[in-house]
């Protein structure tokens, strides 16, 4: 079953055709990787899918609903959550609080309920807290619950950011370069984590530069160059695809 | 949660202690300025919520205070006796009007203060929503300038409108009647009651805001303040929450305007002045921005000193200087944990420990 369907989207910034007539599908429960050389438009594609940008043409269908005109907030409410290439944790908030923010779409206390501290919010707050602890335990960061999130080591901040996204109970998780800046051991751990997230029933789309990680964990890989899709296949086949090799290594390699 | 209410109880204790002190020392006349301080503090804590927690500046909150004050002042002093429209007779029938004597012994037919208060708050809500919608799309300096503009517009309107008293403002505003025959008024006879009422309302407002910052919405606002795009990606409607907070803080300011106008018996255009808005921002800044208790305690001290005339003719200048000094040397405010070590660092000019960008 297809969870996300990208159909012929294009995006132009002034004279630059950042994304050109791009299409691909993501099957429910799979891990799909989006790769390509620097400047290929991967992050733009991410921003288009997650509602941070809107395509000039084409459509994006998520869980049966057209989402290409929705804001990132509305997309998140539908169950698609993203992380950022440059970690965007909330400063001056603890790890626990950061993850609790992730429960926002699954709770409902508004301004009035909050100001009056209405009894129904107490149970809600408790459930938010319990769920957040569950996630921290799963990710092995529960010891840092009370620490300021941005004071953690870089690799752990990444994990917190993913934890915050998981707190939304997403159907689709978009990971923008989850292994960027991580050492080899942390990268391996990240790979295991992404696989575990998939086992939890979350579909994953990731942009990643680390090829060994991509080849190890993804079910399918989409390769983009200059905003166009040049290949879409299983990891092993992608590695042998002459067009992909040409794009990555230059013409002389063929 | 217990800590929050403990702090509120401790502050209430302080308020009682201050009153008892004035009783013992025979300085009950201080209570007048302390009561006014309470109402001004209501604006400050509302603004603190907006600046410190939602991360949006407003240099126009004196405008909302003035809207509240002027609407209630106008409605409760404007004589409707010679007016016979459908609205007037409807208000008459529904008990929305009161007839009373003016200071010269003549009789007046005016809108009931409670109704005037509701009208003032409603108008504030409408204005805040209309203005806040487009303005809060701006960030940083641009937002500051736009809100400054709003404050100036309100100031020029009240200053230039004849039926709002122009430069004289509106005086002879009646007291605000409460159940049990009590009255919000500056009369010396009800000084103690008004002192406790004002601070009671202030503490109630404080409790509401403290609850809010510890709620789901408070977390969301902190997230918006810290990383707006990430908050948006978590499904937080950032624009709507900023707008709601803006309106909430405007209502705090307007309510303060309504009550203080009844307490003082009038309002003048200086209450809408830009330097008033600057003063409120300066107090929030010196209190530590995201620190409701800091803002409240600084408001208590500085507003009181100002109202007692300690700053003399330099009143506005003092608050301008405070704002500049805080921005230069202690952008996190004066009341914080590492104050001493920070001061040492400023003195020794050692940039170590400055936050990396």
Q: Is the pLDDT of residue B338 over 70?
A: no
Q: Are residues A164 and A177 in the same domain?
A: no
Q: Is the pLDDT of residue B349 over 80?
A: no
What does the pLDDT read at residue B355? 45
Is residue A20 a contact partner of residue A40, using CB atoms and an 8 Å limit? no
The SS3 assignment for B44 reads helix
The pLDDT mean for chain A works out to 92
Q: Is the pLDDT of residue B352 over 80?
A: no
- Residue scoring higher pLDDT (B105 or B254): B254
- C-alpha B174/C-alpha B186 separation (Å) is 10
Which of A154, A169, A184 terminates a domain? The answer is A169
Q: Are residues A72 and A176 in the same domain?
A: yes
The pLDDT mean for chain B works out to 90
Q: Are residues A160 and A181 in the same domain?
A: no
Q: Are residues A252 and A235 in the same domain?
A: yes
Mutate to test the interface with B, among A67, A73, A151, A166 (most CBs of B within 10 A): A73
Asked if residue A84 belongs to a domain, the reply is: no
Region label for B299, one of left (φ > 0), alpha (ψ between -120 and 50) or beta (otherwise): alpha
Which two structure tokens, joined as six digits, stand for A221? Answer: 């890989």
Check A90 against B235: CB less than 8 A apart. Answer: no
**If you measure CA to CA, which chain A residue comes closest to B205?**
A115
Q: Are residues A4 and A127 in the same domain?
A: no
Q: Are residues A144 and A176 in the same domain?
A: no
Which of A115, A145, A169 terminates a domain? The answer is A169
Q: Are residues A165 and A101 in the same domain?
A: yes
For chain B, percent of residues with pLDDT exceeding 70: 93
CA-nearest of A53, A23, A19 to A39 is A19
* B200-240 tens-digit pLDDT: 999 999 999 999 999 999 999 999 999 999 999 999 999 99
Helices B61-77 & B238-264, crossing angle to 10 degrees? 50
Q: What is the CATH number of the domain that holds A199?
A: 3.40.50.300
- C-alpha A49/C-alpha A174 separation (Å) is 9
Q: SS3 for A61-107, per residue?
A: EECCEECCCCCHHHHHHHCEEECCCCCCCCCCCEHHHHHHHCCHHHC
What does the pLDDT read at residue B353? 46
Q: Are residues A56 and A164 in the same domain?
A: no
Model confidence, pTM = 0.91
Question: In angstroms, what CA-CA distances link B132 with B22, B51, B65?
Answer: 42, 14, 16
Instruction: Kindly report the number of other CB atoms within 10 A of residue A80's CB atom.
Output: 30
Contacts of A40 (CB under 8 A, 6+ apart): A224, A225, A226, A227
* Residue of B211, B216, B234 with shortest CB distance to A168: B234
Q: SS3 for B250-271, per residue?
A: HHHHHHHHHHHHHHHCEECHHH
The whole-angstrom distance between residue A71's C-alpha and the CA centroid of its chain comes to 16
Residues of B whose CB is below 8 A from A164: 234
The torsion angle over the Cα atoms of residues B229, B234, B235 and B240, rounded to 10 degrees, is -40
Pairing state of beta strands A2-13 and A57-62? antiparallel
Residues of A whose CB is below 8 A from B209: 115
Average the pLDDT over B25-43 and give the result: 95
Q: Is the pLDDT of residue B116 over 90?
A: yes
* Residue of A81, A116, A121 with shortest CB distance to B233: A81
| pLDDT band per the 50, 70, 90 thresholds, residue B88 | confident
* Residue of A76, A111, A115 with shortest CB distance to B233: A76
**If you measure CA to CA, which chain A residue comes closest to B239?**
A73
What does the pLDDT read at residue B3? 83
What does the pLDDT read at residue B331? 76
**To the nearest whole angstrom, how far is the Cα of B230 from the nearest Cα of chain A?**
6
Instruction: Kindly report the number of other CB atoms within 10 A of residue B318's CB atom.
Output: 17
Q: Residue A42: give the domain boundaries.
A: 1-79+170-254
What does the pLDDT read at residue B339? 61
Which of A148, A169, A190 terminates a domain? The answer is A169
Q: Are residues A75 and A128 in the same domain?
A: no
**To the nearest whole angstrom, how far is the Cα of A96 from the nearest Cα of chain B?**
11
Domain count, chain A: 2
* Residue of A101, A113, A128 with shortest CB distance to B223: A101
What does the pLDDT read at residue B340? 62
Check A88 against B230: CB less than 8 A apart. Answer: yes
Q: Is B206 exposed, middle or buried (0-12, 13-18, 19+ CB in 10 A)?
A: buried
Point out the least confidently predicted range of A27-36, B104-113, B174-183.
Answer: B104-113
What does the pLDDT read at residue B122? 97
Q: Are residues A108 and A223 in the same domain?
A: no
Q: Which residues of chain A have pLDDT under 70?
A: 251-254
| pLDDT band per the 50, 70, 90 thresholds, residue B188 | confident
Contacts of B349 (CB under 8 A, 6+ apart): none
Mutate to test the interface with A, among B233, B237, B238, B337 (most CBs of A within 10 A): B233
* B247-289 tens-digit pLDDT: 999 999 999 999 999 999 999 999 999 999 999 999 999 998 8
Residues of B whose CB is below 8 A from A52: 229, 232-233
Residues of B whose CB is below 8 A from A116: 208, 211
**To the nearest whole angstrom, how far is the Cα of A108 from the nearest Cα of chain B?**
8
Contacts of A120 (CB under 8 A, 6+ apart): A109, A113
**To the nearest whole angstrom, how far is the Cα of A242 from the nearest Cα of chain B?**
37
What does the pLDDT read at residue B342? 62
* B127-160 tens-digit pLDDT: 999 999 999 999 888 999 999 999 999 999 999 9
**If you measure CA to CA, which chain B residue comes closest to A129?**
B216
Q: Are residues A192 and A163 in the same domain?
A: no
Q: SS3 for chain A, per residue?
A: CEEEEEEEEEEEECCEEEEEEEEEEEECCCEEEEECCCCCCHHHHHHHHCCCCCCCEEEEEECCEECCCCCHHHHHHHCEEECCCCCCCCCCCEHHHHHHHCCHHHCCCCHHHHHHCCHHHHHHHHHHHHHHHHHHHHHCCHHHCCCEHHHCCHHHHHHHHHHHHHCCCCCEEEEECCCCCCCHHHHHHHHHHHHHHHHCCCEEEEECCCHHHHHHHCCEEEEEECCEEEEEECHHHHHHCHHHHHHHHCHHHC
Q: Is A146 exposed, middle or buried (0-12, 13-18, 19+ CB in 10 A)?
A: exposed
Check A115 against B215: CB less than 8 A apart. Answer: yes
Q: Are residues A174 and A232 in the same domain?
A: yes
- One-character DSSP codes across B105-130: S-EEEEE-HHHHHHHHHHHHHHHHHH
* Residue of B209, B222, B248 with shortest CB distance to A90: B222
Is residue B299 a contact partner of residue B306, using CB atoms and an 8 Å limit? no
Which two structure tokens, joined as six digits, stand for B252? Answer: 């705090």
Asked if residue A85 belongs to a domain, the reply is: no
């Amino acid at each position: 079953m297809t969870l996300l369907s990208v159909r012929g989207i294009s995006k132009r910034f002034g004279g630059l055709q950042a994304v050109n007539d791009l299409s691909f599908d993501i099957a429910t429960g799979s891990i799909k990787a989006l790769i390509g050389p620097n400047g290929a438009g991967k992050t733009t594609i991410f921003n288009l899918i997650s509602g941070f940008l809107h395509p000039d043409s084409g459509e994006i269908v998520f869980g049966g609903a057209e989402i290409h005109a929705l804001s990132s907030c509305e997309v998140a409410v539908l169950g698609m959550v993203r992380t950022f290439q440059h970690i965007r944790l909330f400063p001056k908030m603890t790890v626990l609080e950061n993850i609790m923010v992730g429960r926002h779409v699954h709770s409902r206390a508004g301004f009035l309920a909050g100001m009056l501290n209405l009894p129904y919010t107490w149970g809600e707050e408790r459930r938010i807290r319990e769920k957040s602890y569950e996630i921290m335990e799963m990710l092995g960061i529960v010891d840092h619950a009370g620490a300021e999130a941005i004071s953690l080591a870089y690799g752990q901040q990444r994990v917190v950011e993913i934890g915050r996204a998981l707190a939304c109970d997403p159907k689709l998780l978009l990971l923008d370069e989850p292994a960027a800046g991580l050492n080899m051991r942390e990268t391996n751990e990240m790979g295991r984590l992404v696989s575990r997230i998939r086992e939890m029933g979350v579909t994953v789309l990731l942009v990643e530069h680390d090829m060994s990680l991509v080849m190890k964990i993804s079910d399918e890989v989409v390769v983009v160059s200059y905003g166009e899709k040049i290949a879409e296949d299983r990891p092993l086949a992608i590695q042998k695809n002459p067009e992909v090799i040409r794009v990555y290594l230059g013409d002389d390699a063929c | 949660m217990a800590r929050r209410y403990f702090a509120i109880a401790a502050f209430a204790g302080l308020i009682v202690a201050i009153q008892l002190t004035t009783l013992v020392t025979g300085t009950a006349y201080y209570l007048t300025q302390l009561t006014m301080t309470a109402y001004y503090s209501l604006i400050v804590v509302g603004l603190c919520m907006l600046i410190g927690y939602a991360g949006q500046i407003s240099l126009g909150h004196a405008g909302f205070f003035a809207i509240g004050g002027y609407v209630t002042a106008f409605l409760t002093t404007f004589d409707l006796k010679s007016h016979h429209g459908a609205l007037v007779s409807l208000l008459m029938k529904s008990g929305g009007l009161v007839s009373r004597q003016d200071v010269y012994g003549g009789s007046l037919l005016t809108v009931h203060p409670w109704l005037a208060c509701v009208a003032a708050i409603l108008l504030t809500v409408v204005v805040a929503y209309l203005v806040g919608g487009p303005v809060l799309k701006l960030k940083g300096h641009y937002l500051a300038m736009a809100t400054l503009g709003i404050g100036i517009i309100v100031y020029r309107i009240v200053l230039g409108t004849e039926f709002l008293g122009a430069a004289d403002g509106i005086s002879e505003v009646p007291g605000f009647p409460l159940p049990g025959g009590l009255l919000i008024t500056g009369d010396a006879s009800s000084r103690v009651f008004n002192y406790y009422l004002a601070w009671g309302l202030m503490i109630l407002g404080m409790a509401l805001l403290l609850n809010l910052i510890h709620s789901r919405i408070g977390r969301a606002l902190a997230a918006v303040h810290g990383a707006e795009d990430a908050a948006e990606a978590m499904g937080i409607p950032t624009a709507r929450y900023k707008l709601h907070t803006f309106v909430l803080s405007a209502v705090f300011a307007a309510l303060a305007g309504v009550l203080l106008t009844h307490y003082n018996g009038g309002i003048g255009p200086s209450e809408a002045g830009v330097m008033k808005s600057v003063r409120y921002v300066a107090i929030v800044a010196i209190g530590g921005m995201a620190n409701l208790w800091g803002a409240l305690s600084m408001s208590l001290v500085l507003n009181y000193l100002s109202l007692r005339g300690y700053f003399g003719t330099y009143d506005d200048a003092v608050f301008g200087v405070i704002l500049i000094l805080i921005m230069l040397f202690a952008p996190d405010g004066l009341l914080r944990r590492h104050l001493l070590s920070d001061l040492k660092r400023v003195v020794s000019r050692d940039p170590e420990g400055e936050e990396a960008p």
